[in-house]
Amino acid sequence: MWRSAALLGLVAVLGTALLAVVHTMTRDRITAQERRVVLKQLHQVLPDSAYDNALHEDVLRITDEAFFQTQEPVTVYRARLGTEPVAVIMQVVAPDGYNGDIKLLVGVYADGSISGVRVVSHRETPGLGDPIEHQRSDWILDFNGRSLGNPEPAGWAVRRDGGVFDQFTGATITPRAVVEAVERALRYFEARHEYLFSYPEPEQT
């Protein structure tokens, strides 16, 4: 009897250990895959040759409703080359899309110019609002190299509102929301860039 109990106990221990190993391996694979997905998105707005730090780990989470028009924390990735600041990539939200939130990545070089903008997710009307996606249109590339001085403040709007950015046929709300969100990100960077880069880097493990 005691041998059967001991055997059952041993099987239970081995089974638990095996499950723990499988869980750890699966978790590590999922973490690595998530990291690859994040980096792939980030590299669309900032080439990996521009920095040499662990971009996906050098992260701040900032809450500033006055700038970002959301109470949710905004994720900011910081790119460095050696000890020199290169850029930040902000994951911001345009809350006033036609069908709700439009999530964006906005890359800003240390000099305040845009390295790139990409749409991460949205629910805009197919065929009308989806030209904000780079896969469907080059419209989003018009932000490259822009800054708060290029164009002048009045130009940070769609053409229908007197600005320099094109709207879409039958859809003005969507591009307007994106333009305004990108400008807000630039204004935040202008106001807080010293803080963004002076905050301590995370310790490397």
Tens of pLDDT, residue by residue over 64-95, are 998 898 888 999 999 999 989 999 999 999 99
Which distant-in-sequence residues (6+ apart) come within 8 Å of 141 by Cβ? 134
pLDDT for position 26: 53
Question: Does residue 2 fall inside a structural domain?
Answer: yes
- CA–CA distance, 77 with 91 (Å, rounded to integer): 8
Question: Does residue 82 fall inside a structural domain?
Answer: yes
Enclosing domain of residue 1: 1-42
The total domain count for the chain is 2
Question: Does residue 32 fall inside a structural domain?
Answer: yes
Q: Please, are residues 23 and 15 in contact by the beta-carbon 8 Å criterion?
A: no
pLDDT for position 29: 54
pLDDT (average), residues 108-130:
93
Claim to verify: residue 108 and residue 160 sit in the same structural domain: yes
Claim to verify: residue 172 and residue 134 sit in the same structural domain: yes
Claim to verify: residue 145 and residue 60 sit in the same structural domain: yes
Question: Does residue 204 fall inside a structural domain?
Answer: no
Work out the pLDDT band at 191, boundaries 50, 70, 90: very high
Claim to verify: residue 20 and residue 62 sit in the same structural domain: no
Claim to verify: residue 13 and residue 38 sit in the same structural domain: yes
Claim to verify: residue 176 and residue 153 sit in the same structural domain: yes
- CA–CA distance, 109 with 89 (Å, rounded to integer): 9
Work out the pLDDT band at 123, boundaries 50, 70, 90: confident
pLDDT: is 6 or 25 the higher one? 6
Claim to verify: residue 28 and residue 93 sit in the same structural domain: no
pTM for the model stands at: 0.82
Claim to verify: residue 14 and residue 72 sit in the same structural domain: no
Q: Locate 189 and state its tokens.
A: 């960077």
Claim to verify: residue 102 and residue 25 sit in the same structural domain: no
pLDDT (average), residues 176-198:
95
pLDDT for position 165: 98
Question: Does residue 203 fall inside a structural domain?
Answer: no
Question: Does residue 9 fall inside a structural domain?
Answer: yes
Claim to verify: residue 138 and residue 180 sit in the same structural domain: yes
Q: Please, are residues 80 and 96 in contact by the beta-carbon 8 Å criterion?
A: no
Average pLDDT, the chain: 87
Instruction: Compute the radius of gyration of the chain from its Cα atoms.
Output: 22
pLDDT for position 190: 97
Claim to verify: residue 4 and residue 102 sit in the same structural domain: no
Q: Does the pLDDT of residue 57 top 70, yes or no?
A: yes
Q: Does the pLDDT of residue 28 top 80, yes or no?
A: no
Claim to verify: residue 93 and residue 185 sit in the same structural domain: yes
pLDDT for position 198: 86
Q: Does the pLDDT of residue 4 top 70, yes or no?
A: no
pLDDT: is 184 or 18 the higher one? 184
Question: Does residue 205 fall inside a structural domain?
Answer: no
